[in-house]
Structure 1
Protein backbone atom coordinates (compact mmCIF):
# COMPACT_ATOMS: atom_id res chain seq x y z
CA UNK A 1 0.00 0.00 0.00
CA UNK A 2 1.40 3.43 -0.96
CA UNK A 3 1.73 5.84 1.94
CA UNK A 4 1.28 9.34 0.49
CA UNK A 5 1.91 12.15 2.96
CA UNK A 6 -0.74 14.90 2.98
CA UNK A 7 0.21 18.11 1.14
CA UNK A 8 1.80 20.48 3.67
CA UNK A 9 0.10 23.53 2.06
CA UNK A 10 -3.32 22.15 3.07
CA UNK A 11 -2.32 20.87 6.53
CA UNK A 12 -4.70 23.12 8.58
CA UNK A 13 -7.73 22.00 6.54
CA UNK A 14 -6.67 18.36 6.62
CA UNK A 15 -6.04 18.48 10.36
CA UNK A 16 -9.43 20.08 10.99
CA UNK A 17 -11.22 17.39 8.97
CA UNK A 18 -9.26 14.62 10.69
CA UNK A 19 -9.87 15.90 14.23
CA UNK A 20 -13.58 16.29 13.50
CA UNK A 21 -13.72 12.70 12.25
CA UNK A 22 -11.88 11.38 15.31
CA UNK A 23 -14.02 13.37 17.75
CA UNK A 24 -17.27 12.16 16.18
CA UNK A 25 -16.11 8.56 16.59
CA UNK A 26 -14.78 9.15 20.11
CA UNK A 27 -17.97 10.81 21.35
CA UNK A 28 -20.08 8.07 19.76
CA UNK A 29 -18.09 5.40 21.62
CA UNK A 30 -18.33 7.41 24.84
CA UNK A 31 -22.12 7.67 24.57
CA UNK A 32 -22.41 3.96 23.85
CA UNK A 33 -20.61 3.29 27.12
CA UNK A 34 -23.03 5.31 29.27
CA UNK A 35 -25.59 2.51 29.31
CA UNK A 36 -23.25 -0.42 28.71
CA UNK A 37 -19.86 -0.43 30.46
CA UNK A 38 -16.95 -1.37 28.20
CA UNK A 39 -15.50 -4.84 28.94
CA UNK A 40 -11.98 -3.32 29.16
CA UNK A 41 -13.21 -0.25 31.08
CA UNK A 42 -12.37 2.16 28.28
CA UNK A 43 -13.73 5.67 28.91
CA UNK A 44 -12.98 7.08 25.44
CA UNK A 45 -11.85 10.45 26.79
CA UNK A 46 -9.44 12.76 24.98
CA UNK A 47 -6.83 12.10 27.66
CA UNK A 48 -7.24 8.33 27.36
CA UNK A 49 -6.92 8.50 23.57
CA UNK A 50 -3.74 10.53 24.05
CA UNK A 51 -2.33 8.01 26.52
CA UNK A 52 -3.35 4.88 24.61
CA UNK A 53 -3.06 5.72 20.91
CA UNK A 54 -1.68 9.16 19.98
CA UNK A 55 0.69 11.00 22.38
CA UNK A 56 0.27 14.29 20.47
CA UNK A 57 -3.54 14.23 20.33
CA UNK A 58 -4.21 16.89 22.98
CA UNK A 59 -1.53 19.11 21.44
CA UNK A 60 -3.28 18.76 18.09
CA UNK A 61 -6.61 19.73 19.65
CA UNK A 62 -5.28 22.96 21.18
CA UNK A 63 -3.12 23.89 18.19
CA UNK A 64 0.30 23.32 19.75
CA UNK A 65 1.04 20.82 16.97
CA UNK A 66 0.08 20.99 13.30
CA UNK A 67 1.69 17.73 12.21
CA UNK A 68 -0.70 15.21 10.64
CA UNK A 69 -0.40 11.86 12.50
CA UNK A 70 1.32 9.12 10.57
CA UNK A 71 -0.66 6.34 8.95
CA UNK A 72 0.53 3.94 11.68
CA UNK A 73 -0.70 6.31 14.39
CA UNK A 74 -4.09 6.59 12.67
CA UNK A 75 -4.30 2.79 12.69
CA UNK A 76 -3.60 2.87 16.44
CA UNK A 77 -6.35 5.45 16.91
CA UNK A 78 -8.72 3.31 14.83
CA UNK A 79 -7.90 0.27 16.96
CA UNK A 80 -8.48 2.25 20.15
CA UNK A 81 -11.82 3.55 18.85
CA UNK A 82 -12.74 0.02 17.67
CA UNK A 83 -13.44 1.22 14.15
CA UNK A 84 -15.18 -0.79 11.49
CA UNK A 85 -13.45 -1.02 8.13
CA UNK A 86 -15.63 1.83 6.82
CA UNK A 87 -14.80 4.11 9.78
CA UNK A 88 -11.12 3.21 9.54
CA UNK A 89 -11.02 4.22 5.89
CA UNK A 90 -12.94 7.42 6.67
CA UNK A 91 -10.15 8.34 9.11
CA UNK A 92 -7.49 7.65 6.48
CA UNK A 93 -9.35 9.65 3.84
CA UNK A 94 -9.84 12.57 6.23
CA UNK A 95 -6.04 12.65 6.66
CA UNK A 96 -5.67 12.38 2.85
CA UNK A 97 -4.11 8.91 3.03
CA UNK A 98 -5.12 6.12 0.67
CA UNK A 99 -7.74 3.81 2.18
CA UNK A 100 -6.92 0.24 3.16
CA UNK A 101 -7.21 -2.21 0.29
CA UNK A 102 -10.31 -4.37 0.67
CA UNK A 103 -10.66 -8.01 -0.30
CA UNK A 104 -11.52 -9.01 -3.85
CA UNK A 105 -15.22 -9.18 -4.62
CA UNK A 106 -17.62 -9.98 -7.44
CA UNK A 107 -16.25 -10.79 -10.87
CA UNK A 108 -12.65 -10.08 -9.85
CA UNK A 109 -12.88 -12.67 -7.05
CA UNK A 110 -14.59 -15.25 -9.28
CA UNK A 111 -11.90 -14.87 -11.94
CA UNK A 112 -9.07 -15.34 -9.44
CA UNK A 113 -10.80 -18.32 -7.82
CA UNK A 114 -11.18 -20.02 -11.19
CA UNK A 115 -7.52 -19.43 -12.06
CA UNK A 116 -6.51 -20.73 -8.62
CA UNK A 117 -8.61 -23.90 -9.07
CA UNK A 118 -6.87 -24.63 -12.36
CA UNK A 119 -3.47 -24.14 -10.74
CA UNK A 120 -4.37 -26.27 -7.71
CA UNK A 121 -5.48 -29.15 -9.94
CA UNK A 122 -1.94 -29.38 -11.33
CA UNK A 123 -0.43 -29.98 -7.87
CA UNK A 124 0.49 -33.48 -6.77
CA UNK A 125 0.34 -32.47 -3.10
CA UNK A 126 -2.91 -32.29 -1.10
CA UNK A 127 -4.14 -28.70 -1.37
CA UNK A 128 -7.12 -26.47 -0.69
CA UNK A 129 -8.15 -23.03 -1.90
CA UNK A 130 -9.07 -20.59 0.91
CA UNK A 131 -10.17 -16.98 1.34
CA UNK A 132 -9.17 -14.48 4.05
CA UNK A 133 -11.58 -16.10 6.56
CA UNK A 134 -10.00 -19.51 5.78
CA UNK A 135 -13.25 -20.47 4.08
CA UNK A 136 -12.54 -23.49 1.87
CA UNK A 137 -13.50 -22.75 -1.74
CA UNK A 138 -12.13 -25.94 -3.30
CA UNK A 139 -10.12 -29.11 -2.59
CA UNK A 140 -7.97 -31.01 -5.05
CA UNK A 141 -8.19 -34.76 -5.52
CA UNK A 142 -4.96 -35.57 -3.61
CA UNK A 143 -6.41 -33.77 -0.56
CA UNK A 144 -9.62 -35.80 -0.67
CA UNK A 145 -7.78 -39.06 -1.22
CA UNK A 146 -5.13 -38.51 1.41
CA UNK A 147 -7.40 -37.19 4.16
CA UNK A 148 -10.42 -39.35 3.21
CA UNK A 149 -12.31 -36.09 3.08
CA UNK A 150 -15.90 -35.94 1.83
CA UNK A 151 -16.68 -33.90 -1.29
CA UNK A 152 -16.79 -30.23 -0.36
CA UNK A 153 -20.34 -29.88 -1.66
CA UNK A 154 -21.45 -32.51 0.87
CA UNK A 155 -20.74 -30.00 3.66
CA UNK A 156 -23.14 -27.10 4.30
CA UNK A 157 -21.53 -23.81 3.31
CA UNK A 158 -21.45 -22.68 6.96
CA UNK A 159 -19.16 -25.66 7.75
CA UNK A 160 -16.61 -25.06 4.97
CA UNK A 161 -14.00 -23.33 7.09
CA UNK A 162 -10.57 -24.79 7.81
CA UNK A 163 -10.43 -23.75 11.48
CA UNK A 164 -13.46 -25.76 12.67
CA UNK A 165 -12.52 -28.61 10.31
CA UNK A 166 -9.33 -29.05 12.37
CA UNK A 167 -11.47 -29.67 15.47
CA UNK A 168 -14.37 -31.76 14.18
CA UNK A 169 -14.33 -35.31 15.47
CA UNK A 170 -16.55 -36.57 12.62
CA UNK A 171 -13.83 -35.62 10.11
CA UNK A 172 -10.49 -37.47 9.91
CA UNK A 173 -7.89 -34.73 10.41
CA UNK A 174 -8.05 -34.43 14.20
CA UNK A 175 -8.25 -38.19 14.79
CA UNK A 176 -5.23 -38.89 12.62
CA UNK A 177 -3.31 -36.05 14.33
CA UNK A 178 -3.63 -37.47 17.85
CA UNK A 179 -1.92 -40.88 17.71
CA UNK A 180 0.75 -39.95 20.30
CA UNK A 181 1.81 -37.06 22.54
CA UNK A 182 4.15 -35.51 19.97
CA UNK A 183 1.45 -35.58 17.30
CA UNK A 184 -1.02 -33.91 19.68
CA UNK A 185 1.52 -31.14 20.38
CA UNK A 186 2.08 -30.65 16.66
CA UNK A 187 -1.69 -30.48 16.11
CA UNK A 188 -2.06 -27.91 18.90
CA UNK A 189 0.76 -25.81 17.47
CA UNK A 190 -0.83 -25.99 14.02
CA UNK A 191 -4.18 -24.88 15.45
CA UNK A 192 -2.47 -21.96 17.20
CA UNK A 193 -0.75 -20.86 13.99
CA UNK A 194 -4.03 -21.04 12.05
CA UNK A 195 -5.85 -18.99 14.68
CA UNK A 196 -3.10 -16.35 14.58
CA UNK A 197 -3.26 -16.37 10.76
CA UNK A 198 -7.02 -15.81 10.88
CA UNK A 199 -6.68 -12.97 13.40
CA UNK A 200 -3.89 -11.24 11.50
CA UNK A 201 -5.61 -11.64 8.13
CA UNK A 202 -8.78 -10.06 9.50
CA UNK A 203 -7.28 -7.58 11.98
CA UNK A 204 -8.91 -4.59 10.31
CA UNK A 205 -12.32 -6.29 10.49
CA UNK A 206 -12.20 -7.40 14.13
CA UNK A 207 -14.97 -4.96 15.10
CA UNK A 208 -17.26 -5.89 12.20
CA UNK A 209 -20.47 -7.81 13.10
CA UNK A 210 -19.67 -10.59 10.60
CA UNK A 211 -16.32 -11.23 12.33
CA UNK A 212 -17.95 -11.79 15.73
CA UNK A 213 -20.70 -13.94 14.21
CA UNK A 214 -18.14 -16.12 12.45
CA UNK A 215 -16.02 -16.57 15.59
CA UNK A 216 -19.12 -17.56 17.57
CA UNK A 217 -19.93 -20.07 14.86
CA UNK A 218 -16.43 -21.53 15.18
CA UNK A 219 -16.72 -21.63 18.98
CA UNK A 220 -19.72 -23.95 18.71
CA UNK A 221 -17.38 -26.69 17.45
CA UNK A 222 -15.74 -29.03 20.01
CA UNK A 223 -13.23 -27.17 22.21
CA UNK A 224 -12.41 -24.40 19.73
CA UNK A 225 -13.21 -21.62 22.20
CA UNK A 226 -10.52 -22.89 24.59
CA UNK A 227 -7.82 -22.44 21.95
CA UNK A 228 -9.27 -19.15 20.66
CA UNK A 229 -9.08 -17.58 24.13
CA UNK A 230 -5.62 -18.86 25.08
CA UNK A 231 -2.91 -16.26 25.56
CA UNK A 232 -0.13 -15.98 22.94
CA UNK A 233 2.50 -17.23 25.42
CA UNK A 234 0.61 -20.52 25.73
CA UNK A 235 0.10 -20.85 22.00
CA UNK A 236 3.68 -20.18 20.93
CA UNK A 237 4.76 -23.75 20.15
CA UNK A 238 6.88 -23.23 17.06
CA UNK A 239 9.54 -25.74 18.09
CA UNK A 240 7.38 -28.67 16.92
CA UNK A 241 6.81 -29.88 13.33
CA UNK A 242 4.12 -28.25 11.23
CA UNK A 243 2.02 -31.39 11.24
CA UNK A 244 2.33 -35.01 12.31
CA UNK A 245 -0.36 -37.47 11.35
CA UNK A 246 -1.04 -41.04 10.35
CA UNK A 247 -0.95 -41.71 6.63
CA UNK A 248 -1.95 -44.93 4.91
CA UNK A 249 0.35 -46.31 2.25
CA UNK A 250 -2.04 -47.21 -0.57
CA UNK A 251 0.29 -49.96 -1.81
CA UNK A 252 1.09 -51.76 1.45
CA UNK A 253 -2.07 -50.63 3.31
CA UNK A 254 0.16 -49.84 6.29
CA UNK A 255 -0.55 -46.86 8.55
CA UNK A 256 2.63 -44.89 9.33
CA UNK A 257 3.39 -41.58 11.09
CA UNK A 258 4.42 -38.89 8.60
CA UNK A 259 5.57 -35.29 8.89
CA UNK A 260 4.06 -32.55 6.73
CA UNK A 261 4.81 -28.89 6.07
CA UNK A 262 2.18 -26.27 5.22
CA UNK A 263 2.91 -24.26 2.06
CA UNK A 264 1.07 -21.08 1.06
CA UNK A 265 0.85 -20.30 -2.68
CA UNK A 266 -0.22 -16.81 -3.75
CA UNK A 267 -2.49 -16.60 -6.78
CA UNK A 268 -2.84 -12.81 -7.19
CA UNK A 269 -1.53 -9.49 -5.85
CA UNK A 270 -3.79 -9.80 -2.79
CA UNK A 271 -2.88 -12.11 0.09
CA UNK A 272 -6.15 -13.98 -0.50
CA UNK A 273 -7.48 -16.09 -2.01
CA UNK A 274 -4.52 -18.45 -1.80
CA UNK A 275 -3.69 -22.15 -2.06
CA UNK A 276 -2.63 -24.01 1.08
CA UNK A 277 -0.77 -27.24 0.28
CA UNK A 278 0.84 -29.98 2.39
CA UNK A 279 4.34 -31.19 1.47
CA UNK A 280 5.91 -34.36 2.96
CA UNK A 281 9.07 -33.73 4.97
CA UNK A 282 10.26 -37.30 5.63
CA UNK A 283 10.80 -40.52 3.65
CA UNK A 284 7.67 -42.13 5.13
CA UNK A 285 5.56 -39.21 3.93
CA UNK A 286 7.10 -39.22 0.47
CA UNK A 287 6.41 -42.97 0.18
CA UNK A 288 2.77 -42.49 1.22
CA UNK A 289 2.28 -39.68 -1.30
CA UNK A 290 3.98 -41.71 -4.04
CA UNK A 291 1.67 -44.66 -3.32
CA UNK A 292 -1.38 -42.48 -3.96
CA UNK A 293 0.08 -41.23 -7.20
CA UNK A 294 0.55 -44.80 -8.41
CA UNK A 295 -2.91 -46.14 -7.50
CA UNK A 296 -6.31 -45.55 -9.01
CA UNK A 297 -9.76 -45.54 -7.55
CA UNK A 298 -12.26 -43.64 -5.47
CA UNK A 299 -10.94 -41.28 -2.79
CA UNK A 300 -12.94 -43.24 -0.24
CA UNK A 301 -11.46 -46.57 -1.34
CA UNK A 302 -7.95 -45.18 -1.24
CA UNK A 303 -8.06 -43.98 2.39
CA UNK A 304 -10.31 -45.19 5.20
CA UNK A 305 -10.77 -44.25 8.82
CA UNK A 306 -8.71 -46.40 11.13
Structure 2
Protein backbone atom coordinates (compact mmCIF):
# COMPACT_ATOMS: atom_id res chain seq x y z
CA UNK A 1 0.00 0.00 0.00
CA UNK A 2 2.79 2.45 0.88
CA UNK A 3 4.52 1.79 -2.47
CA UNK A 4 1.28 2.46 -4.34
CA UNK A 5 0.74 5.68 -2.38
CA UNK A 6 4.29 6.80 -3.10
CA UNK A 7 3.88 6.11 -6.81
CA UNK A 8 0.57 8.00 -6.85
CA UNK A 9 2.17 10.99 -5.13
CA UNK A 10 4.99 10.97 -7.68
CA UNK A 11 2.50 10.85 -10.55
CA UNK A 12 0.58 13.77 -9.06
CA UNK A 13 3.75 15.78 -8.60
CA UNK A 14 4.79 15.04 -12.19
CA UNK A 15 1.38 16.08 -13.51
CA UNK A 16 1.48 19.31 -11.51
CA UNK A 17 4.95 20.09 -12.81
CA UNK A 18 3.87 19.41 -16.39
CA UNK A 19 0.86 21.67 -15.92
CA UNK A 20 3.07 24.40 -14.49
CA UNK A 21 5.48 24.20 -17.44
CA UNK A 22 2.58 24.10 -19.90
CA UNK A 23 0.98 27.27 -18.51
CA UNK A 24 4.39 28.94 -18.38
CA UNK A 25 4.86 28.12 -22.08
CA UNK A 26 1.37 29.29 -22.99
CA UNK A 27 1.93 32.58 -21.14
CA UNK A 28 5.17 33.12 -23.08
CA UNK A 29 3.40 32.52 -26.40
CA UNK A 30 0.54 34.83 -25.48
CA UNK A 31 2.95 37.56 -24.39
CA UNK A 32 4.60 37.56 -27.82
CA UNK A 33 1.29 37.24 -29.68
CA UNK A 34 -0.18 40.25 -27.85
CA UNK A 35 3.01 42.23 -28.42
CA UNK A 36 2.96 41.51 -32.15
CA UNK A 37 -0.76 42.32 -32.34
CA UNK A 38 -0.11 45.65 -30.68
CA UNK A 39 2.73 46.44 -33.09
CA UNK A 40 0.36 46.08 -36.04
CA UNK A 41 -2.70 47.63 -34.48
CA UNK A 42 -2.23 50.95 -36.30
CA UNK A 43 -0.81 49.58 -39.58
CA UNK A 44 -1.51 46.78 -42.01
CA UNK A 45 0.62 43.67 -41.98
CA UNK A 46 2.09 42.87 -45.44
CA UNK A 47 0.53 39.40 -45.28
CA UNK A 48 -2.65 40.65 -43.57
CA UNK A 49 -1.88 38.77 -40.36
CA UNK A 50 -3.99 39.79 -37.38
CA UNK A 51 -2.16 37.71 -34.75
CA UNK A 52 -5.40 36.63 -33.05
CA UNK A 53 -5.76 33.42 -31.06
CA UNK A 54 -8.18 32.11 -33.67
CA UNK A 55 -5.79 32.87 -36.51
CA UNK A 56 -2.91 31.18 -34.71
CA UNK A 57 -5.14 28.14 -34.21
CA UNK A 58 -6.32 28.08 -37.83
CA UNK A 59 -3.01 28.85 -39.52
CA UNK A 60 -0.34 26.95 -37.59
CA UNK A 61 -1.55 25.12 -34.47
CA UNK A 62 -4.98 23.40 -34.62
CA UNK A 63 -4.83 22.57 -30.90
CA UNK A 64 -4.18 26.12 -29.73
CA UNK A 65 -7.80 26.84 -28.74
CA UNK A 66 -7.84 23.56 -26.80
CA UNK A 67 -4.75 24.74 -24.94
CA UNK A 68 -6.44 28.02 -24.05
CA UNK A 69 -9.59 26.41 -22.62
CA UNK A 70 -7.67 23.71 -20.77
CA UNK A 71 -8.88 20.79 -22.86
CA UNK A 72 -5.29 19.80 -23.53
CA UNK A 73 -2.15 20.39 -21.48
CA UNK A 74 0.20 18.15 -23.37
CA UNK A 75 3.47 19.90 -24.07
CA UNK A 76 4.04 20.32 -27.82
CA UNK A 77 7.19 19.26 -29.62
CA UNK A 78 10.04 21.67 -30.08
CA UNK A 79 9.35 21.77 -33.83
CA UNK A 80 5.74 22.83 -33.17
CA UNK A 81 6.96 25.70 -31.02
CA UNK A 82 9.37 26.74 -33.77
CA UNK A 83 6.47 26.86 -36.25
CA UNK A 84 4.45 29.00 -33.82
CA UNK A 85 7.46 31.27 -33.36
CA UNK A 86 7.77 31.62 -37.14
CA UNK A 87 4.11 32.65 -37.39
CA UNK A 88 4.58 35.16 -34.57
CA UNK A 89 7.66 36.56 -36.35
CA UNK A 90 9.73 36.10 -33.23
CA UNK A 91 13.05 37.78 -32.77
CA UNK A 92 15.69 35.34 -31.56
CA UNK A 93 15.26 36.44 -27.93
CA UNK A 94 11.47 35.95 -28.11
CA UNK A 95 11.89 32.52 -29.71
CA UNK A 96 14.21 31.51 -26.89
CA UNK A 97 11.79 32.84 -24.26
CA UNK A 98 9.16 30.42 -25.60
CA UNK A 99 11.57 27.50 -25.85
CA UNK A 100 12.92 28.04 -22.35
CA UNK A 101 9.40 28.38 -20.92
CA UNK A 102 8.66 24.91 -22.33
CA UNK A 103 12.02 23.69 -20.94
CA UNK A 104 13.61 23.15 -24.34
CA UNK A 105 17.17 24.17 -25.10
CA UNK A 106 17.30 27.65 -26.65
CA UNK A 107 18.66 28.43 -30.09
CA UNK A 108 22.30 29.37 -29.70
CA UNK A 109 23.19 32.80 -31.08
CA UNK A 110 26.56 33.61 -32.54
CA UNK A 111 29.45 34.67 -30.33
CA UNK A 112 28.96 37.94 -28.49
CA UNK A 113 31.02 40.22 -26.25
CA UNK A 114 34.45 38.97 -25.16
CA UNK A 115 33.98 35.58 -26.84
CA UNK A 116 33.34 37.29 -30.18
CA UNK A 117 36.34 39.60 -29.78
CA UNK A 118 38.60 36.65 -29.01
CA UNK A 119 37.30 34.68 -31.99
CA UNK A 120 37.79 37.69 -34.30
CA UNK A 121 41.35 38.15 -33.04
CA UNK A 122 42.09 34.47 -33.69
CA UNK A 123 40.57 34.73 -37.16
CA UNK A 124 42.68 37.79 -37.99
CA UNK A 125 45.86 36.03 -36.86
CA UNK A 126 44.95 33.10 -39.12
CA UNK A 127 44.19 35.42 -42.02
CA UNK A 128 47.57 37.12 -41.71
CA UNK A 129 49.40 33.80 -42.18
CA UNK A 130 47.78 33.11 -45.56
CA UNK A 131 49.52 33.97 -48.85
CA UNK A 132 46.15 34.51 -50.56
CA UNK A 133 43.57 37.31 -50.64
CA UNK A 134 41.53 36.77 -47.47
CA UNK A 135 39.02 38.38 -45.13
CA UNK A 136 37.56 37.79 -41.68
CA UNK A 137 33.78 37.48 -41.95
CA UNK A 138 30.89 36.84 -39.53
CA UNK A 139 27.50 35.18 -40.04
CA UNK A 140 26.08 38.58 -41.04
CA UNK A 141 28.58 38.64 -43.96
CA UNK A 142 30.20 41.60 -42.22
CA UNK A 143 33.88 41.90 -43.11
CA UNK A 144 35.89 42.72 -39.98
CA UNK A 145 39.35 42.55 -41.51
CA UNK A 146 40.96 42.15 -44.94
CA UNK A 147 44.54 41.58 -45.92
CA UNK A 148 46.35 43.79 -48.43
CA UNK A 149 46.09 41.21 -51.23
CA UNK A 150 42.30 41.14 -50.94
CA UNK A 151 42.01 44.92 -51.00
CA UNK A 152 44.25 45.13 -54.06
CA UNK A 153 42.43 42.33 -55.88
CA UNK A 154 39.02 43.92 -55.26
CA UNK A 155 40.41 47.45 -55.77
CA UNK A 156 39.02 48.52 -52.41
CA UNK A 157 40.29 51.21 -50.05
CA UNK A 158 41.24 50.43 -46.48
CA UNK A 159 38.25 49.10 -44.54
CA UNK A 160 38.64 51.98 -42.08
CA UNK A 161 37.60 54.42 -44.82
CA UNK A 162 34.28 52.62 -45.48
CA UNK A 163 31.10 53.11 -43.42
CA UNK A 164 30.54 50.10 -41.16
CA UNK A 165 27.34 49.05 -42.94
CA UNK A 166 29.18 48.89 -46.27
CA UNK A 167 31.83 46.47 -45.05
CA UNK A 168 29.95 43.38 -46.18
CA UNK A 169 30.53 40.74 -48.83
CA UNK A 170 27.32 41.78 -50.54
CA UNK A 171 28.41 45.40 -50.78
CA UNK A 172 31.76 44.32 -52.20
CA UNK A 173 30.12 42.09 -54.82
CA UNK A 174 27.63 44.79 -55.77
CA UNK A 175 29.98 47.75 -55.79
CA UNK A 176 29.98 49.58 -59.16
CA UNK A 177 33.65 48.89 -59.99
CA UNK A 178 33.42 45.15 -59.39
CA UNK A 179 30.11 45.04 -61.28
CA UNK A 180 31.66 46.89 -64.26
CA UNK A 181 34.59 44.45 -64.37
CA UNK A 182 32.15 41.52 -64.44
CA UNK A 183 30.37 42.96 -67.47
CA UNK A 184 33.42 42.47 -69.71
CA UNK A 185 31.84 39.33 -71.22
CA UNK A 186 28.72 37.20 -70.89
CA UNK A 187 30.37 34.35 -68.97
CA UNK A 188 31.86 36.65 -66.35
CA UNK A 189 28.57 38.50 -65.94
CA UNK A 190 26.60 35.27 -65.51
CA UNK A 191 29.03 33.98 -62.90
CA UNK A 192 28.96 37.30 -61.06
CA UNK A 193 25.15 37.16 -60.89
CA UNK A 194 25.29 33.59 -59.60
CA UNK A 195 27.70 34.50 -56.84
CA UNK A 196 25.63 37.51 -55.76
CA UNK A 197 22.49 35.36 -55.62
CA UNK A 198 24.24 32.61 -53.70
CA UNK A 199 25.73 35.09 -51.22
CA UNK A 200 22.26 36.48 -50.50
CA UNK A 201 20.76 33.01 -50.19
CA UNK A 202 23.56 31.99 -47.83
CA UNK A 203 22.94 35.12 -45.75
CA UNK A 204 19.22 34.29 -45.50
CA UNK A 205 19.89 30.69 -44.49
CA UNK A 206 22.52 31.57 -41.89
CA UNK A 207 20.30 34.22 -40.33
CA UNK A 208 16.81 32.72 -40.65
CA UNK A 209 16.26 32.99 -36.90
CA UNK A 210 17.30 36.65 -36.94
CA UNK A 211 15.06 37.82 -39.78
CA UNK A 212 12.78 39.80 -37.46
CA UNK A 213 15.61 41.29 -35.40
CA UNK A 214 16.35 44.98 -35.80
CA UNK A 215 19.84 44.57 -37.31
CA UNK A 216 18.52 42.21 -40.01
CA UNK A 217 15.65 44.50 -40.91
CA UNK A 218 18.06 47.46 -41.07
CA UNK A 219 20.42 45.51 -43.31
CA UNK A 220 17.65 44.80 -45.83
CA UNK A 221 16.29 48.35 -45.63
CA UNK A 222 19.73 49.84 -46.33
CA UNK A 223 20.27 47.43 -49.20
CA UNK A 224 16.98 48.42 -50.82
CA UNK A 225 17.79 52.10 -50.45
CA UNK A 226 21.50 52.22 -51.25
CA UNK A 227 22.54 49.34 -53.52
CA UNK A 228 21.54 49.14 -57.19
CA UNK A 229 19.51 46.01 -58.05
CA UNK A 230 19.62 44.81 -54.43
CA UNK A 231 15.86 44.26 -54.33
CA UNK A 232 15.83 42.23 -57.54
CA UNK A 233 18.68 40.01 -56.32
CA UNK A 234 17.14 39.69 -52.84
CA UNK A 235 13.81 38.49 -54.20
CA UNK A 236 15.35 36.13 -56.74
CA UNK A 237 17.86 34.54 -54.35
CA UNK A 238 15.38 31.98 -53.02
CA UNK A 239 15.29 30.34 -56.45
CA UNK A 240 19.03 29.63 -56.40
CA UNK A 241 20.45 26.29 -55.33
CA UNK A 242 24.02 25.44 -54.45
CA UNK A 243 24.27 23.31 -57.58
CA UNK A 244 23.61 26.37 -59.75
CA UNK A 245 26.67 28.16 -58.42
CA UNK A 246 29.92 27.53 -60.24
CA UNK A 247 32.55 25.78 -58.06
CA UNK A 248 35.04 28.44 -59.06
CA UNK A 249 34.71 32.20 -59.34
CA UNK A 250 35.74 34.23 -62.33
CA UNK A 251 37.23 37.55 -61.30
CA UNK A 252 38.65 40.27 -63.51
CA UNK A 253 41.81 41.37 -61.76
CA UNK A 254 43.99 44.30 -62.73
CA UNK A 255 47.62 43.46 -63.40
CA UNK A 256 49.51 46.11 -61.38
CA UNK A 257 52.41 46.31 -63.84
CA UNK A 258 50.28 47.05 -66.93
CA UNK A 259 46.84 48.05 -65.65
CA UNK A 260 45.31 45.35 -67.87
CA UNK A 261 42.19 43.54 -66.65
CA UNK A 262 42.72 39.78 -66.78
CA UNK A 263 40.14 37.03 -66.21
CA UNK A 264 41.29 34.74 -63.42
CA UNK A 265 39.62 31.81 -61.68
CA UNK A 266 39.66 31.41 -57.93
CA UNK A 267 38.07 29.07 -55.41
CA UNK A 268 36.63 30.15 -52.05
CA UNK A 269 37.94 28.43 -48.91
CA UNK A 270 36.36 28.94 -45.47
CA UNK A 271 38.34 28.38 -42.27
CA UNK A 272 36.48 28.33 -38.95
CA UNK A 273 38.48 29.31 -35.87
CA UNK A 274 36.18 28.07 -33.09
CA UNK A 275 33.39 25.60 -32.33
CA UNK A 276 31.02 27.80 -34.33
CA UNK A 277 31.08 28.26 -38.09
CA UNK A 278 31.58 32.01 -37.70
CA UNK A 279 33.60 34.14 -37.44
CA UNK A 280 35.64 32.56 -40.20
CA UNK A 281 38.45 33.34 -42.59
CA UNK A 282 37.41 33.36 -46.26
CA UNK A 283 40.34 33.02 -48.66
CA UNK A 284 40.42 33.06 -52.47
CA UNK A 285 42.70 30.30 -53.72
CA UNK A 286 44.12 30.56 -57.28
CA UNK A 287 42.78 27.92 -59.67
CA UNK A 288 44.57 28.75 -62.93
CA UNK A 289 47.96 30.06 -63.99
CA UNK A 290 46.55 33.52 -64.69
CA UNK A 291 45.40 33.79 -61.07
CA UNK A 292 48.80 32.71 -59.76
CA UNK A 293 50.51 35.26 -61.99
CA UNK A 294 48.24 38.09 -60.85
CA UNK A 295 48.61 37.10 -57.18
CA UNK A 296 52.39 37.19 -57.48
CA UNK A 297 52.27 40.60 -59.11
CA UNK A 298 49.88 41.99 -56.49
CA UNK A 299 52.06 40.65 -53.68
CA UNK A 300 55.20 42.31 -55.06
CA UNK A 301 53.57 45.63 -56.03
CA UNK A 302 54.62 48.61 -53.88
CA UNK A 303 52.12 49.76 -51.27
TM-score under structure 2 length normalisation: 0.85
For the pair 1:232 / 2:208, whether they are aligned, the reply is no
CA contact (8 A) 1:127 1:277 kept: yes
Equivalence for 2:117: 110
Q: Distance in 2 between matches of 1:44 and 1:156?
A: 38
How far off its partner does 1:63 sit? Answer: 4.3
Query: Aligned match of 1:89 in 58, 80, 96?
Result: 96
Query: Aligned match of 1:212 in 177, 192, 217?
Result: 217
Matches within 5 A, 1:46-195: 46-169=53-176, 172-195=177-200
Change (3 A) 1:112 1:237: closer
- Partner of 2:61: helix, strand, or coil? coil
Unaligned stretches of 5+ in structure 2? Answer: 1-12
Deviating more after overlay: 109-118 vs 206-215: 206-215
C-alpha RMSD of the superposition: 2.5
Between Structure 1 and Structure 2, the one with more helix by share is 2
How far off its partner does 1:105 sit? Answer: 2.0
Q: Distance in 1 between matches of 2:215 and 2:245?
A: 33
Q: How many residues align?
A: 288
Which has the greater radius of gyration? Answer: 2
- Partner of 1:101: helix, strand, or coil? coil
How far off its partner does 1:238 sit? Answer: 4.0
CA contact (8 A) 1:163 1:218 kept: no
CA contact (8 A) 1:179 1:245 kept: no
CA contact (8 A) 1:189 1:237 kept: no
Deviating more after overlay: 115-124 vs 159-168: 159-168
Unaligned stretches of 5+ in structure 1? Answer: 1-6, 299-306
Q: Distance in 2 between matches of 1:141 and 1:104?
A: 26
For the pair 1:260 / 2:245, whether they are aligned, the reply is no
